[in-house]
A and B are shown apart, each in its own frame.
Chain A
Amino acid sequence: MSDAIRLEGISKQLGGREILKGVSFAVKQGDIFGYLGPNGAGKTTTIRILLGLLQPTSGKATILGEDVSRDEARRKVGFVLESDGLYDNKTAEENLWYYARIYEMTRPAERIDRILDLVGLWDRAKDKVGTYSKGMRQRLALARAMTHNPELLVLDEPTAGVDPSGQIEVREVILNMAYKEGKSIFLSSHNLDEVQRICNRIALIDRGEIKLYGELEQLQREMSRNEVEIETTEAIAEPLFSELKSLSHLGLREREDKCLTFVLQEGVRVPDIVSLLVRRGVEIEGVSRKEASLEEIYFAILKEAEPS
């Protein structure tokens, strides 16, 4: 089975500036792939190359096995770009019909009704898009991306500028598309919380280079920095905290209410810490290994990549 997206050494120069520098990664079929990076990192340029809007200076990009320069590749992909690209003077239905005709769909009426229902806009189908809220526009843009029933969706910041309730609605639509419709999803976003909630694989791009790429859970485990959280039944008193803190080999990092966070040091095991605490009369409620959040990973990688 071919990858949903495969980029091999993609570079792009624009106006004498190298926007992408040998970008390589793959999105497997069925993935919800998060593409992260600060402003100007090259996310939108990558998306434009994927959609055949820009030509790479070098490298190879394929969508479901088809070279992105081929029309066939563009038939297999639906998209939501930075700007929703909807026609304000047309109704929601007319917008979808327009794209259905471009994709040469036969009998699209049923599909359009179904998709409008999926994004919760069926009752506003006959209203001009100019009257829609930002959240509704984004849901309609997602519907448009789905109209021709593509196997892959490329979404460029679909929740940007949408209010929190609208973000939840858009996120639900994306999840429906992934799980109910079985689509592979490539999601470029600044919203780390959103990516952490819905993506199973990520890539982080900075200054045109991929800095991190892999399965999110595995990356979180790998970057957890061996942190262990120990919950206690009562808050630790200051004298005990100071004593524990002075035992540097324990690696006690912080105390927050009834929770102590340790960074495991070489040669120190979790049971050693637990037994020490028990000996000091502390009642343990629970012990858990702390995974790094996507936000922590993101900033750690960007800090690492900062030019010295």
Chain B
Amino acid sequence: MKGMLVVLQSDVGDILHSRGFLIVAIIIGVLAVGAAVGVPIALNGWLATGLAWEEAKPLLELFMGLAVNYMPLIVLFTCMATWATDPIAKEKAKGPIESLLATPLTARAVWIGKSLAIFLPAYIIGLITTLIIILVMNFASILPATGHFVLPLPEALTSFLFLPLLMFALISLGVIFSLITNPVIGQTIIIFVGVLLLQVVGQVGGRMWWLLASWDYALYNLAGAALLGVIAFYLSRSLSKERIILSSKGKWA
């Protein structure tokens, strides 16, 4: 546990001081400011038509659902795609990973430490930007026009807990592949599943919009997280120092 925390702390420090983090922070900052300015303008115009609360509620929940699903997903995905496996590739190529594994650290501690180090900064950025969007939508538009605060519990849970869990499971899966095979494979898995999730949210928002605010949708996310988590945990049983070392030398075990 202690060893895992040391890896986590060091890797988070490296990510925060990297150019990749700066680029991601700028992109997400621009996105968040755009959303914070644009969404109230769009909502205010629509709410000014004088819809009754009962009519407006499902549409507002859809709007909120799209925002709170897309925002963390985009943020987590951007962060992961930018800084997920590149540091591992460098460590494997230049040798620090071998030195790290020659210490009392276990391969599993390295795996969890590195996965959390990628996930936590991404989660915190996603959390902050999503909160900003929720607060701006509600306090600048919805609350003044309707007197209600819109954030259904399933949406909140999906956005702040289940979707991040799904993304963490995806990161840990990608990191396992990066450790025991070529890091490009890990990166490809993360990007493939990430793009798939973006598509799913987009399709659900367009065709089955009522699902976004439902418990069903929240549970789908939780189930997805559990499935990826189980796969990652299963694969982690084959995670050994020998496999990591051999894959660093181009011999995938």
Contacts and interface: CB of A to CB of B under 8 A. Distances in A.
Interface of A: 14-15, 48, 51-55, 71, 74-75, 79, 81-89, 98-99, 101-104, 144
Contact of B105 (A83, A84, A87, A102): A102
B102 A83 contact: no
Given A102-B6, A104-B2, A53 B242 contact: yes
B103 A74 contact: yes
B245 A53 contact: yes
B213 to A, nearest CB: 45
B14 A89 contact: yes
Interface string B237-253: 00011100110000100
Contacts of B242: 53-55
Contacts of A87: 14, 96
Interface string B53-68: 0000000000000000
B94 interface: yes
A53 B98 contact: yes
Majority SS at the chain B contact face: helix
B6 A53 contact: no
Contacts of A89: 14, 17
Contacts of A84: 95, 99
Contacts of B245: 48, 53-54
B101 interface: yes
A219 B135 CA distance: 80
Contacts of A82: 95
A74 to B, nearest CB: 5
B104 A75 contact: yes
A81 B98 contact: yes
Nearest to B241: A53
Given A81-B95, A83-B95, A104-B2, A53 B104 contact: no
B100 to A, nearest CB: 7
A15 B251 contact: yes
Main secondary structure of the interface of A (DSSP, over half): loop
Contacts of B103: 74, 99, 102-103
6 contacts: A81-B102, A83-B98, A85-B98, A87-B14, A98-B6, A104-B2
B3 interface: yes
Nearest to B7: A102
Contacts of A103: 103-104
A102 B17 contact: no
B203 interface: no
B94, B96, B105, B246 pick with most chain A CB within 10 angstroms: B96
A101 B6 contact: yes
Nearest to A52: B241
A56 to B, nearest CB: 10
Given A53-B242, A55-B242, A85-B98, A102 B14 contact: no
B251 A74 contact: no
Interface string B138-158: 000000000000000000000
B104 A74 contact: yes
Contacts of A104: 2
Contacts of B199: none
A201 B242 CA distance: 29
Contacts of A48: 245
A98 B94 contact: no
B202 to A, nearest CB: 38
Contacts of B96: 85-87
Interface in B75-130: 94-96, 98-105
B113 to A, nearest CB: 10
Given A83-B94, A101-B9, 15 more contacts: A51-B102, A53-B242, A53-B245, A54-B241, A79-B102, A82-B95, A83-B99, A85-B95, A85-B100, A86-B96, A87-B14, A87-B96, A98-B10, A101-B6, A102-B104
**7 nearest CB pairs, A to B:** A83-B95, A85-B99, A51-B102, A71-B104, A101-B6, A85-B95, A74-B104
A303 to B, nearest CB: 30
B251 A102 contact: no
B99 A81 contact: yes
Nearest to A48: B245
Interface in B211-239: none
A161 B209 CA distance: 63
A102 B6 CA distance: 6
Interface centre among A75, A85, A88, A89 (most CB of B within 10 A): A85
Contacts of B9: 101
B245 to A, nearest CB: 5
Contacts of A14: 246, 251
Nearest to B104: A71
Contacts of A88: 94
Contacts of B95: 81-85
A88 B245 CA distance: 20
Interface in B188-206: none
Nearest to B9: A101
A27 B204 CA distance: 67
